Amino acid sequence: MLIAQISDLHIQERPGPDGVMAVDHLELAIDDLNRFEPRPDLVVVTGDLTNNGLPAEYAMLHAALGKLEIPYLLIAGNHDSREPLREAFPEHAYLRSGGEFIQYVDDNWPVRIVALDSTVPGRHHGELCPARLQWLADRLAEKPDQTTVVIMHHPPFDTGILPMDALGILAGREEFARIIAQHSNIERVLCGHMHRSIVCRVGNTLASTCPGTAHQVELDLREHGRLTSNAEPPGYHVHWVRPGATVTHHAVVSYLASPLSPPGRPKAKSAPLGGSKPKVQRAGPSLPA
C-alpha cells in the first residue's frame, strides 16, 4: 500500500511571519500528489491543519483539500480545535467516532490505520492519558496479525531540536512505547509537529515526523539553539508499506520557495517562530510550530 503523508498545514487567512500564505503551499503539495505516479492509495494529514482553530480557517482547508483526488484521513494537532474541525468536515464521520477525542480505526485498506489523539486544547505539548492509552491497547489487540500504521501528531521521542522538544513533549510516551513494543505488526508510527523529516526507533518499530507544507523548522541541534523557520521548500512523505519491509521517501514540493526556484517564484524568508501558547479559537499573528 502506498500512503502519502502531509502535515502541519497551518492554514490561516493571512500570511505567516515568513510572508508565506500557507494555503498556497498546501495547494502546490496537492498538485504534486495528484500528479504522483503511481498514485498513492491514501493521504494521511497528521495535524496542525489550521493555525488558530477557527471556522474560517477550516473552511479554507476544506476547499483546498477538495482539490485532492486521493482519499484522505485527518487528525488534529496542537493548533486545532476539535469541534470546528468536525463541523467543517461533516462527511468525515470518523472524526466523531472517538467520543471526546479525534481518534479512530480505518480497516478499509490492506494496511490498518489506527489514529490516536495526542492533543491538549490550547497547549503546545501533547498527552496520552490513561483513557487514550487504553483505547490504543484495545484497538491493537483486536487484530494483532494485521499490518498496522499508527498516526498521531506529537512524536513519542526527543529530537535534539531542544526548543521544539520543550514545547512539544508528549506526556505518556513511555507507556505508549511499552504498548507498541508488544505488537510486531506495527510498521510505522507517523507523526507531525516537528516540520522536519526525523526518524527514531520506538518499541520495535520506527516512528517518524513529516516535513510541513506551511514552513520548515531550522535544523538547530545546539544547546542554546533558537526556534526559527528557514527557506527550505515544503515537503511530504510517501510510505511504501509492506509487512516487515516498509520504505519511506522524503519528497519536496515542486518549484517552490527555494534558492533554486525558477524566476518569478517567491522565495521564503527566514523568520523566528513564536514560542507562546497557541491561540485556540482566536486569530494570532504568529505561525509557531
The answer to whether residue 283 scores a pLDDT higher than 50 is no
2-60 pLDDT per residue, tens: 999 999 999 999 987 777 899 999 999 999 999 999 999 999 999 999 999 999 999 99
Collapsing DSSP states into helix, strand and coil, what is residue 166? helix
Q: HSE on the CB side for 270, CA within 13 Å?
A: 7
Under 8 Å between Cβ of 203 and 165: no
Which cell numbers hold the place of 263? 524566476
The answer to whether residue 285 scores a pLDDT higher than 90 is no
* Cβ-Cβ contacts under 8 Å for 171 (sequence gap 6 or more): 125, 126, 127, 128, 129
End-to-end CA distance of the chain: 30
Domains and their CATH numbers in the chain: 2-272 (3.60.21.10)
Q: Which of 187, 181, 239 is nearest to 210 (CA)?
A: 239
The answer to whether residue 197 scores a pLDDT higher than 60 is yes
Distance of CA 218 to the CA centre of its chain: 17
144-173 pLDDT per residue, tens: 999 999 999 999 999 999 999 988 899 999
In this predicted structure, what is the pLDDT of residue 255? 56
